[in-house]
Amino acid sequence: MRRSLALLLIIALVLSGCGQTVEVEDQAYALVLGLDARGDGGVELTIRIPRIGHSGDSDSDGKSSGRPYLVLAAAGESYAQALEQLQWSAARELNLSHIALIVASEALASSAAFPRLIDSVAETRHLYTTAAFVVCSGRARDFIEGQETILGAHLSSEIAAMFRHYADHGYIPRASFAELYYATHSCYSDPTAIWGFPDAGELATEDQPAAAVITDDDARLNADTLTASSRQYRGAALFLDGRMVGRLNGSETLCLRLLTGRVTGFGYAAAGEGLNLSTLRSPVRRVRLDGDRVRLQAEIALISEDPADPAVLRAAEQSIKRDAEALIRWCQQLRADPFAFADRAAARFATYESWLQWNWRERYAQADVEVSVSIARGGS
């Protein structure tokens, strides 16, 4: 009798979760979340959700049986209100736990309302902040509507693979929403986001050429390449205190990656020749204090994957050094430190109070910059 009761109790405990089951088709799994500013100060949210059970295959006549993803949007005076509207718009239980990408429009990311919005998104229940974070030109809703899968059938895995590839080669920074949130509230360095822009052909109209809408760098990239996707990702958005304050183009982003991480295989032109370079070891960054004067030092160690002329390698070293120092000086003007120099400077202080009182931002802005680059000759 006691054994039967014990068995019954165990079964009841194990199966107790079944009372709360929700079928997969009864939920709306958001894979992409878009954030836009409304003209009246409100917020518009856009999500992209997969159609469960839709294979995207053609029907018997060879025609497409419909898009595999839906785009839904809702607006409100606040983020909470917009999210509530989105719950209604989705007509299903909205599941935010699988978001792979968060896209914010440039206008919203640059506004005074964005820092508070970062907190609201981070505080959303079951919204895991590992999602990649992109700032796009134009509206986030338009950007999301134009997304499509290229090589695979699943948007979430496509996004992950694409960003991993781009970050490894220095085209974009490694940027997640969690990093944005933590860096915004911490006392260390400033975060970056991935820069996204649509294909130039989509933006150009009879009255307005694409160059008037997107920057020269983005337009040049569009002109020089042929891609299957109408959504491009290259470059970085710089943030300071939760607001976007500047943008880095492709080559500047590569410099940023060389200064902060490892880059696997990138092409670099110097002295009329092309080189294939890789990071040899992680970059070394130091903050030296000479009295009141601060010196920022960085050492970049690279290796040439092919046996190149030493004169070409020396020219490349000088060129990368100039680019890196110019990038740091430009960021100094913006008071933004995406290079993690602040993390190193903070180590010299015993308490948060003493560190904050030292006024790192002003000292960073006035600091001297020294970058050294060495390229080892490989491929022999």
Partner 1 sequence: MSEKTTISRASAVSGVAAALISRAFYGLMVEGPALDNGAWLSILVGLALALPTLWLFRRGVGRSARLLLAAALFVDAMKALEGAAFSESCIAFNHIPSAVLALPLLAAAARCLVLGGDAVGASARIWMRLFIPALGLIVALQWSYYRPLWLTPVLGHGPGGILRGGVRCGLWMAMLGGAGMALCREQVRFERVVRTLAVAALVTAILILLRLMMAPACLSGDMGRALRLDALLTNGRAPLLLQLPMIVIWFVGLTHLLCFEIWCAVALVRKRS
Query: What is the binding site for partner 1 (CB under 8 A)?
Result: 13, 20, 119, 122-123, 125-126, 128-130, 176-179, 181-188, 340, 343-344, 346-347, 349-356
**Pairing between β-strand 293-304 and β-strand 368-377 as defined by DSSP bridges:** parallel
Query: Which 3 state secondary structure label does DSSP give 173?
Result: coil
CA-nearest of 242, 244, 246 to 115 is 242
Rounded CA separation 198/170 (Å): 20
Q: CB-based contacts of 57: which residues, under 8 Å, 6+ apart?
A: 65
- Report in angstroms how near the CB of residue 348 gets to partner 1 at its nearest: 8
- Report in angstroms how near the CB of residue 82 gets to partner 1 at its nearest: 20
- Report in angstroms how near the CB of residue 6 gets to partner 1 at its nearest: 11
CB of 32 closer than 8 Å to CB of 144 = yes
Rounded CA separation 122/323 (Å): 35
Which CB atom, from 8 or from 223, has the smaller least distance to partner 1?
8
Residue 56 structure tokens: 């995207």
Which CB atom, from 183 or from 312, has the smaller least distance to partner 1?
183
Q: CB-based contacts of 39: which residues, under 8 Å, 6+ apart?
A: none
Which CB atom, from 18 or from 350, has the smaller least distance to partner 1?
350
Which CB atom, from 187 or from 311, has the smaller least distance to partner 1?
187
- DSSP string for residues in 176-192: BHHHHHHHHHSSSPPPE
Which CB atom, from 18 or from 228, has the smaller least distance to partner 1?
18
Listed in sequence order, the DSSP H helices in 32-139 are: 79-90, 106-109, 114-122
- Report in angstroms how near the CB of residue 206 gets to partner 1 at its nearest: 44
Which CB atom, from 38 or from 352, has the smaller least distance to partner 1?
352
Rounded CA separation 190/243 (Å): 10
- Report in angstroms how near the CB of residue 185 gets to partner 1 at its nearest: 4
Which CB atom, from 72 or from 122, has the smaller least distance to partner 1?
122
- Report in angstroms how near the CB of residue 269 gets to partner 1 at its nearest: 32
- Report in angstroms how near the CB of residue 3 gets to partner 1 at its nearest: 16
